[in-house]
Amino acid sequence: MAQTPKRTERVAILTGGGDAPGLNAVLRAFVRVSHHHGIEVYGSEDGFEGLVQRNRMVKLTPGSVRGILARGGSILGCSNRANPFAYPTGTESDPYEDRTQDVVERLRSHGIDILVLVGGDGTMDIGHRLSQQHKVPVVGIPKTIDNDLGATDVTFGFDTAVTTATWAIDTLHSTAEAHDRIMIVEVMGRYAGWIALHSGMAGGADIILLPERPYDIERVATKIRQRAQQGSTFSIVVVGEGAYPKGTPSTEASPVDGHLPKLQGAAATLAQHLGAQVPHEIRTTVLGHLQRGGSPSPADRILGTRFGAAAADLCAKGITQRMVSIRNEQIVDVALKEAVQNPKRVTDSEPLIATAKAIGIEFG
């Protein structure tokens, strides 16, 4: 006789990696819809930390997620230093150790049927490995302000980051003009130029430099000189944090023990090169974590809510090793493996690039 699959009774959820505006919208929707399905939800504090360490699992109820929709950050906390496959030991000689058995044991002792991971490519990779190596049933929810996951059209957090960066570029315009300066604005996004491209276009940047194409400093300087000849004595340059000049090594690096290196200095490098080419005063603004903080935009609240609700539905149906995703406005789900395979980068065929070039934006 065929065995009836076990009904999902209890799940755990965590917010892994760096935070992104909209995480609390996900948690709120996930808990509410799970409650509707009669599923109990536990939250792991600080990403995987709560599954590696003892006493870091908290019960989440509709009451505990009340009033959090508009809040940035995550009520569970986040960590990108708690990879259970390469967990920091605190010793120099042997800096990382495998703590996945602790995760498996914690899930077992709490009676967890499914582990729900809200995270970017790093977190999904951990989820995929946990499912492969330890048979942990996993459901993924994509998150990153960088918007660089190929398996979904968009991730929540991106819209808020672009909104903040656009506000900053708008604000810098008047002071750039008043002082006839070159303002260089460095935005996040790691090796993907989506935040740079979108905020640069929305903020009316004159030059956008993307991590995907090393820039030619001559072209940047020529554009600034041309603008000056046409009477615009200031310029706004948006540079992605992973961008670099032609002839220098790429900033892209593989993770070491699951940890990516910190990116810094794109604006400073550009300012240094440009200073030798144009007579203007140059100032740099590094937006940094401003782009990750604050209240999520309406679009991110809605996307987070849709993802959270859809993930709870998957759990109720017992469908695992899948990640929720959005394709052409429809919520779908894709294999967890697919989620970590294809990073999404700005290619030359990106339609926004053509439009930007048509209105005179220089890409170096």
CA-CA distance, 210 to 270, in Å (whole number)?
12
CB 188, min distance to ligand F6P, A: 3
Distances (CA, A) of 118 to 90, 101, 123, 138, 237: 26, 21, 8, 11, 33
For residue 293, what are the contacts with CB-CB under 8 A and spacing of at least 6?
21, 72, 73
Residues that bind ligand F6P (CB under 6 A): 18, 80, 120, 144-146, 188-190, 241, 262-263, 292
Q: Which two tokens stand for residue 157?
A: 């957090």
Nearer to ligand F6P, 261 or 298 (CB): 261
Q: Are 161 and 195 in contact (CB under 8 A)?
A: yes
Q: Are 111 and 134 in contact (CB under 8 A)?
A: no
Nearer to ligand F6P, 241 or 333 (CB): 241
Nearer to ligand F6P, 131 or 144 (CB): 144
CB 190, min distance to ligand F6P, A: 4
Please give the residue whose beta carbon sits closest to ligand F6P in the complex.
188
Nearer to ligand F6P, 184 or 192 (CB): 192
CB 313, min distance to ligand F6P, A: 27
Residue linked to tokens 């959005």: 326
Nearer to ligand F6P, 50 or 189 (CB): 189
CB 146, min distance to ligand F6P, A: 5
CB 120, min distance to ligand F6P, A: 6
Q: Provide the annotated active-site residues.
A: 146
Nearer to ligand F6P, 46 or 362 (CB): 46
Nearer to ligand F6P, 135 or 262 (CB): 262
CB 114, min distance to ligand F6P, A: 25
CB 192, min distance to ligand F6P, A: 8
